Each structure stands twice: as structure tokens, then as C-alpha cells.
Structure 1
Amino acid sequence: MDIGKRLKLLRKNTLNLTQSKFGEQIGFKATAIGQMESGDRNVTDRTILLICKEFNVNEEWLRNGTGDMFIEPDTFSLDQYLKSKNATDFEIELVKSFFEIPDDSRKEFLNRLKKYVISNFNENDLVATKEETFEEKKKRELEAYALELEAEAKGEISSALEKHEGA
């Protein structure tokens, strides 16, 4: 297996990224990634180093196909973990900032957040957050509209009766 095929195996089967997303993370366009995977473009040393650094790939595996695909890190990287979950820069900074707060303040914040969530969201609210299908939404809207029309009709009938009785 050549380096292009290993690159494609890494990107598509292991990292589950499109050429566009993969390229974006290392500063390349999707077309360049496609050309490298197909062998139409050389994978430079610089590119290999970028891929290995960004995705924690074993350079020996990428170059020659020997050894494990990934290097097991000695330490846990919060940044890398959050990036692997597609966190935005803002979300990463938010998480980091949260852990800069003293322990007792963090605990107090989490307790208040928990109380807020429990008091402001009942089971119906949580169920309503699931995505409705078009048919479910249409049925719900039609039922609400029918009830509204019924109420209007009753209101007109009762107001007509009031006029008749008062005459």
C-alpha cells in the first residue's frame, strides 16, 4: 500500500473525515488531498509532519506502512480531544476558562445550573426538543387550528344568542 492509500485509509475509514474537512485541518483544499490520495501529487515531508502532528499519526506508519497507525500520547490533550469532537475555538476557550475558576465557585455554578435546568425544563419540554417529522408537525398544527376554529365558532354562536336574547 502506498502513502496515498494510507492517507485515504486514515482520512476516510479511521478519522471519518471528508477530503474538505481533513484538508481544512492541515491547510489544504479538498482537491489537493484527493491528488495526494490518488498519487497525482507528492506528499511532501512538510505535509507528512503536519498530518502526524494534527492527527497524532505515527510518521513511520504514514511513510512506510510499518508500526501502529497512531502514536499513543503520554499525556491527555484537552485541545486535541475537543478538536476531535469538532469543537469551535469559542467552545475550547469556554471549557478552558471554566477550569480557571476556583473549585468552590465551579461547584456552586454547577449546582445553580442543575437547579435551573430542573426547575425550567419539565419532561414535556425535553420531549418537545426532539425533532418532529413533517407529518407530526402538520398533524399538531392542524389540531391546533381546528380547536381555534371551534372556539371562534362557539364565540360567534354565543354572541349571536346574546343579541337575540337581549332583543
Structure 2
Amino acid sequence: MDIAQRLVLIREAVGLSQKNFAAKIGRSQSTYCEYEKGKNVPERTIADICREFYVNEDWLRTGEGDMFKSKNNTNEELAFQIGKLLKTNDEFTKNLFLEYLKLPPEMKTLFEDFVHNLAKSK
């Protein structure tokens, strides 16, 4: 499997069209489409893909290891997700996060129970 095929796998794993995937890394759809067809992928593009989608660079380049970086470190994952959120215009999620942080401990517990129950109902 070559890098072009791995790009398709990443894009499918994150559930995006070529157009939306390309937009997330600051490329046009036509440019990104060429990468999936086997055109040489610039170093900057590889770095952007790995940063934006938390892709394991070794896997992208060689196919060795896991597709995505391990997100076991909660602080690292939180920092990564907050950084992504700050770059968006998603005011609802920003406000939801802020309001959650302002809740007293007993209300946070109720909210956590609600979210866990919501996840179970899927």
C-alpha cells in the first residue's frame, strides 16, 4: 500500500469528502485529489494532515504502526481538542464548554450522567 492509498484510508476513517478533507488542511479539492491519485505529497501537506487529524506520521509515510497517534494522555488530548475548537466559529460548542466549567461539582455530576446515558442510547 502506498501513501496515496493511505490518504484515502485516513479520509474515510475521519468520514470526510475530498473537498472537506482538503479544506481542513488548506488545500483545494483538485490538489488533494492528485495526492490520492499518486502525485508526490509535499512535506508541508504531510505535516498538516498529521497535525489536523492526529495521524501517526510513520504510518502515513511507511504504513508501519497505527494510523492514528495514541491519545492516552488526557491533558494532551484536551489541549489538542481545545486548540482545534479555538480555530473554529463554533460558538455553541465554545459556550457549552465554558458553561460546563462554571457548573458547581454536583451539577457537573448530573451533566456527566446525562451524557453517559445519552451515549448509551445510541
TM > 0.5: yes
Aligned partner of 1:101 in structure 2 is 102
Report what 1:15 is aligned to.
14
Equivalent pair of 1:3/1:62 in contact (CA under 8 Å): yes
Unaligned runs of 5+ in 2: 112-122
Deviating above 3 A after TM superposition, structure 1's stretches of 4 or more consecutive aligned residues are 78-81
How far apart are residue 10 of structure 1 and its match? 1.1
**Considering only aligned residues, what root-mean-square deviation do their CA atoms show, in Å?**
2.7
Alpha-carbon distance change, 89 to 8 in structure 1, aligned in 2, over 3 angstroms: same
Whole-angstrom distance in 1 between the partners of 2:91 and 2:26: 20
**Mapped partners of 1:88, 1:3: distance in 2:** 32
Return the offset for 1:79. 6.3
Q: Which has the higher contact order (CA 8 A, sep 6+)?
A: 2
Structure 1: gaps spanning 5 or more residues: 112-167
What number of residue pairs does the alignment pair up?
Answer: 102
Alignment check: 8 A CA contact 1:79 1:92 kept:
no
Q: Deviations over 1:77-124 (max 9, x none)?
A: 37639x7xxx852123112221342416x93xx89xxxxxxxxxxxxx
2:26 — aligned with what? 27
Partner residue of 2:78? 77
Q: Give CA-to-partner distance per residue, 1:125-146, whole Å, 9 cap, x none.
A: xxxxxxxxxxxxxxxxxxxxxx
TM-score (norm 2): 0.70
Cα pair distance change 1:80/1:44, threshold 3 Å: same
Measured in 2, the distance between the counterparts of 1:79 and 1:2 equals 28
Aligned partner of 1:55 in structure 2 is 53
